Chains A and B, each alone.
Chain A
Amino acid sequence: MSQEIAVIGSPEFTTGFRLAGVRKFAEVPDDEKDERLDGTVEELMADEDVGIVVMHDDDLDHLSRGVREDVETSVEPVVVTLGGGAGSGGLRAQIKRAIGIDLMDE
């Protein structure tokens, strides 16, 4: 089954991806992120045609706790965050919990 990439973020963030051909996108202006981002993320993550969700790392702060946890642990679709450097997206904490040491320590 072929899937697609979806992008969520401010209009400035999504435009570039649309230029590369991404069809599924959700534009949430910065001042509405606190209210609308949770619903939008949940909606896109429930979409079976979406294989990868791309978000900006800063946008994770606008999500409520439960949705953020889903985003960080979800495998189908997998959420890739940009702009947060290595070890972003909760992966670092998960490594620390599973292995016992912080392997992403620079």
Chain B
Amino acid sequence: MAEDVKPTRKNLMSIEDRIELSERGHDTLEKKRDGLIMEFMDILDQAQDVREELEDSYEHAQRSIDLARALEGDVAVRGAAAALKEHPELTTQSKNIMGVVVPQIESSKVKKDLDERGYGVLGTSARIDEAADAYEDLIANIILAAEVETAMKKLLEEIETTKRRVNALEFKLLPELHENKEYIEQKLEEQEREEIFRMKKIKDMMEEKEAEWEEETEEAVEDPLAADD
């Protein structure tokens, strides 16, 4: 608030420094925000493609498992599912996009050969193999979607914080600093005017006193003559 600052030249100088710094910070943050949004746009296109593919592969996987369930029976499908030994593993590495750390997910053992699956080939039918195949594809797509969507979430968070910072500087801090600066400037000008007025007043008073004194001395010079008479 403008009333909280002391109207001194030192404060004015420090406020001017702060305004310069804040304006520089504001420009930098604005550039960062725009850069992040551009990066985000690239990822968004990618994410929409990945999402579409994910939904397609989910539908396909569902169809194939429904078929397997219908033809083989639920128990057979569940039995085969319970026999799986190998499981997909994820390792996460990170990548840096403009200061935002986004994960890069590597996966292993997602796609498996028929003999790696663990259920007996003779006891099960090709329908179950097809369903397992479709779900392996689906998992590969899920991993891709997870990677892209995490990157999007992190970028969005960063965009939001940067935007908030830019707005705080633009609409809160900078106006306040400018207001304070103006207040101090006006106060200092007023003090200067008062000072000039005071000087003028003193000058007048001095002149008046001088005139009085001169009058007195003149009278004093004239008086001895009168006394002589």
A residues contacting B by CB (< 8 A) are: 1-5, 15-23, 51-52, 54, 73, 75, 78, 80, 82-83, 85-87, 89, 91, 94-95, 97-99, 103-104
Can you name 16 A-B residue pairings with CB atoms under 8 Å? A1-B92, A3-B89, A15-B65, A18-B82, A18-B84, A19-B77, A19-B128, A19-B135, A20-B84, A20-B138, A21-B136, A22-B88, A51-B146, A78-B150, A78-B153, A94-B156
Which A residue sits closest to B66, measured CB to CB? A12
The proximity string for B residues 59-72 relative to A, scoring 1 for CB distances below 8 Å and 0 otherwise, is 00110010000000
> Quick check: B90 and A3 within 8 Å, CB to CB?
yes
Residues of B within 8 A of A73 (CB): 153
Interface residues of B in 39-81 (CB under 8 A from A): 40-41, 44, 48, 51-52, 54-55, 58, 61-62, 65, 77-78, 80-81
6 closest Cβ pairs, A-B complex = A20-B135, A18-B81, A51-B90, A16-B65, A21-B87, A19-B132
CB of B184 within 8 A of chain A? no
> Quick check: A75 and B153 within 8 Å, CB to CB?
yes
Residues of B within 8 A of A85 (CB): 51, 55
Partner of B142, one of A21, A52, A91: A52
Residues of A within 8 A of B136 (CB): 20-21
Partner of B145, one of A19, A80, A87: A80
> Quick check: A82 and B150 within 8 Å, CB to CB?
no
Residues of A within 8 A of B32 (CB): none
Residues of B within 8 A of A17 (CB): 135, 138-139
Residues of A within 8 A of B90 (CB): 2-5, 51-52
How far is the CB of B53 from the nearest CB of chain A, in Å?
Answer: 11
Apart from the given pairs A80-B145, A85-B51, 15 other A-B contacts in the complex at a CB distance below 8 Å: A5-B90, A15-B65, A16-B61, A16-B134, A19-B81, A20-B132, A21-B109, A22-B87, A23-B87, A52-B90, A78-B146, A78-B150, A82-B142, A85-B55, A95-B156
Give A46 to B65 CA distance when docked, in angstroms. 30
CB of B163 within 8 A of chain A? yes
Which A residue sits closest to B48, measured CB to CB? A86
The residue in B54, B61, B86, B90 that gathers the most chain A C-beta atoms within 10 A of its C-beta is: B90
